[in-house]
Amino acid sequence: SQQGEEDPQALSIQEGENATMNCSYKTSINNLQWYRQNSGRGLVHLILIRSNEREKHSGRLRVTLDTSKKSSSLLITASRAADTASYFCATYNYGQNFVFGPGTRLSVLP
Partner 1 sequence: GAGVSQTPSNKVTEKGKYVELRCDPISGHTALYWYRQSLGQGPEFLIYFQGTGAADDSGLPNDRFFAVRPEGSVSTLKIQRTERGDSAVYLCASSLVQGNEQFFGPGTRLTVL
Per CB under 8 A, residues contacting partner 1 are 4, 30-31, 33, 35, 40-45, 48, 88, 92, 94, 97-103
Cα separation, 23 vs 100, whole angstroms: 10
Q: Which is nearer to partner 1, 12 or 18 (CB)?
A: 12
Q: Which is nearer to partner 1, 17 or 50 (CB)?
A: 50
Q: Which residues of 42-78 are buried (b: 16+ CB within 10 A; e: fewer)?
A: ebeebbebeeeeeeeeeeebbbbbeeeebbbbbebee
- The nearest distance, CB 16 to partner 1, in angstroms, is 28
- The nearest distance, CB 15 to partner 1, in angstroms, is 25
Cα separation, 102 vs 1, whole angstroms: 12
- The nearest distance, CB 45 to partner 1, in angstroms, is 4
Q: Which is nearer to partner 1, 20 or 98 (CB)?
A: 98
